Amino acid sequence: FQAFYLRQATREFANDLDKLRSAGDFHQEKSVPLLISALKQGTACFSVEERRMVGGMVGEKAE
């Protein structure tokens, strides 16, 4: 679920992420791990049941 969530979040927020990366105060070695950690925390908003439901829908699309 986490990989799916991160993939979807980065697609949805691609323009915003590009703006962050081009900001003058963005430091690759410090900012990227912080950004990844922040995005991963978004998965905590979903219950186990919601994660299973999304996982099932993703599996159906792959078939």
- Each residue of 3-21: pLDDT tens digit? 889 999 999 999 999 999 9
39: Cβ contacts below 8 Å, ≥ 6 apart:
6, 9, 10
Half-sphere exposure of 4 (CA within 13 A, CB side): 13
Output the pLDDT for position 62: 47
57 vs 16: CA distance, rounded Å: 27
In the structure, what pLDDT confidence band is assigned to residue 63 with cuts at 50, 70 and 90? very low
pTM: 0.69
Per-chain mean pLDDT for the chain: 87
Measured CA distances, 37 to 10, 17, 60 (Å): 13, 14, 29
Taking the domains of the chain in order of start, what are their residue ranges? Answer: 2-62
Tokens of 60: 């159906």
